[in-house]
Amino acid sequence: MYWEEKIDLLKQQYAPSEFSVPFTQWVAISKEIERKFIIRAHSGPFRNWAENIRGKTKLGGIGRGELVDYLSKLPSTANYWMVVVQGNDINGKYYLYDCGIKPLTTLASLCNGDFYIVDKKYAWLVYFSLEKETGKINVYSGSDSPFQ
């Protein structure tokens, strides 16, 4: 199943208040994420965020099977921005979603690559980096987050 088909299924499964694709706002939201959390080291937008996170600190590593429990540390009453990277972080495509906690954990479980979770008030960003060989997920933050 292609990524777009998975997203369509999530749109059917969850109410728009729980899961949506901010199609008309994605550029402005992504620019605000970059402004707050990413050191711009290139002229084009939305590339190579992983290497340019301001104050990047490793929070630890988790196994793929621990992801849902790990994400349960997030308050369940809020929505979050989730940025999924298709391809490598340097020149891959970045997809932005507005997620409540249930669709966020479902979407994170479907990811076969790196992703970011960002507070919708832009208070924090957390980067989840998948080691494809081992299945381990390294977790990094550039600011205080619910995972610390």
Question: Using one digit for the tens of pLDDT, what is the confidence trace for 100-134?
Answer: 999 999 999 999 889 999 999 999 999 999 998 89
| pTM for this entry | 0.92
Assigned domain for 112 exists? yes
Task: Answer yes or no: is 47 within a domain.
Answer: yes
Nearest to 76 by CA among 100, 99, 103: 100
Inform me whether the pLDDT recorded for 11 exceeds 80. yes
Range of the domain at 93: 3-141
What would the DSSP string read from start to end of 23-83?
TTTHHHHHHHHHHHHB---SSSSS---GGGBTT-EEEEEE-GGGHHHHHTTS-TTS-EEEE
Total number of domains constituting the chain: 1
Q: What is the pLDDT of residues 33-88, one digit of tens each?
A: 999 999 876 656 667 888 889 999 999 999 989 999 999 999 999 999 999 998 77
